Amino acid sequence: MTTGGNSWLFMSRFPDFEIDDKWILSHRGKKNPVDPLKPYNYFIEKERTVSGTIEDVSTIFLSNRECPFHCLMCDLWKNTTDYNVTEGAIPKQIEWALAHLPSTKHLKLYNSGNFFDRKAIPEQDYERIASLLDNFETVIVESHPKLIDERSLRFRNMLKPELQVAIGLETVHPEVLQKLNKKMKLADFKRSVKFLSSNGISSRAFILLRPPFLSESEGVSWAIKSIYYAFKTGVTSCTVIPVRSGNGALDALAANNYFEQPDIRSLEEVIEYGIELNEGLVFSDLWDIGLFSSCDKCIDQRRHRLVEMNLYQKKIAPVKCTCLILPDNHVKKS
């Protein structure tokens, strides 16, 4: 990983070209082939619950039509179709995954986009989907704020388990949020969280660590501000996602010094803050976490530390290593 050096000091924060759907799509590579009758991934992991227990949670990644929003940092399109899947395909995928997973009380039903996007999940399938989920206590789906409306309530009303909705807040940095091409304002996030909570549905937030256009230290401070905002708005948990390159658009920005992947030590710092805030659960997304470290001596200890903080929601003793200086000379505090 490069450090970025002084490049952040001398350049304008944003490029002078428009970052829009056309620009983002023009930088994409090929999608992976997916089977519309099978989820493209599924697994079980342990997660801390609001009540303080640690429980197994199943996650199913449904194969379906790609999300209509084309966010700058998103790579979820890689495992989606270009066409609407047929009515009945999503329930078949769920049946298939449940037959391959041991039983758990909680399920994340993620679809690389928005559960309430009718082009991704046909509304005619809601009833069949709901009936397949009768044995769970909690079902978590994801959605863009603009697609959270009466449809979410219709689905909730068919469900026996409690519904939770995960929403990408991404960042509260107003200009960066706009540049992410998510077509969302903070007011949209707030409205969706309030709409859900006023209807008895809890929500979770996804927060980005170091989206493009921010230095390492700015990435940390805006992630911290975003966690604070998400909890004040009413979410019950925040998951912090270190932004990774590899979707084409981010690689193009990285080549011009507008983006650098964050460092695992920054993730630790943000998670420590979030846990100590004590407003709700704070998790780190540990997918491919090795990408965010350049120190072979401490990566395993740091990964382990983040796993423990996810599960126990308390600050764990910091890792002692010689790699204290972060990119842009941001010194980790612990």
Alpha-carbon distances, residue 70 vs 63, 146, 173, 229 (angstroms): 17, 14, 19, 24
Stretch that binds Zn ion, among 39-47, 103-111, 156-164, 289-297 (CB under 5 A): 289-297
Contacts of 242 (CB under 8 A, 6+ apart): 208, 209, 210, 261, 262, 264, 266, 267, 284, 285, 289, 291, 292
- Of the pair 114, 202, the CB lying nearest ligand SF4 is at 114
Instruction: Kindly provide the residue ranges of all beta strands, DSSP E only, lying in the chain, ordered along the sequence.
Output: 41-48, 54-61, 106-110, 138-142, 162-170, 202-209, 237-242, 281-284
Stretch that binds ligand SF4, among 67-75, 159-167, 213-221, 287-295 (CB under 6 A): 67-75
- Of the pair 199, 334, the CB lying nearest Zn ion is at 334
Stretch that binds ligand SF4, among 12-20, 66-74, 186-194, 254-262 (CB under 6 A): 66-74
Query: 10-39 mask for ligand SF4 (x: CB under 6 A)?
Result: ------------------------------
Should residue 182 be labelled a site residue for ligand SF4 when binding is judged by CB under 6 A?
yes
Should residue 323 be labelled a site residue for Zn ion when binding is judged by CB under 5 A?
yes
Cβ burial, residue 174 (10 Å; 0-12/13-18/19+): exposed
- Of the pair 69, 273, the CB lying nearest ligand SF4 is at 69
Least Å distance, CB 88 to Zn ion, is 51
Among 34, 60, 74, 166, binds ligand SF4 (CB under 6 A): 74
* DSSP per-residue string spanning 153-210: HHHHHH-SSEEEEEEEEE---HHHHHHTT----HHHHHHHHHHHHHTT-EEEEEEEES
Residues at the contact surface with ligand SF4, assessed by CB under 6 A: 67, 69-71, 74, 76, 112-113, 144, 168, 182
Residues at the contact surface with Zn ion, assessed by CB under 5 A: 295, 297-298, 321, 323
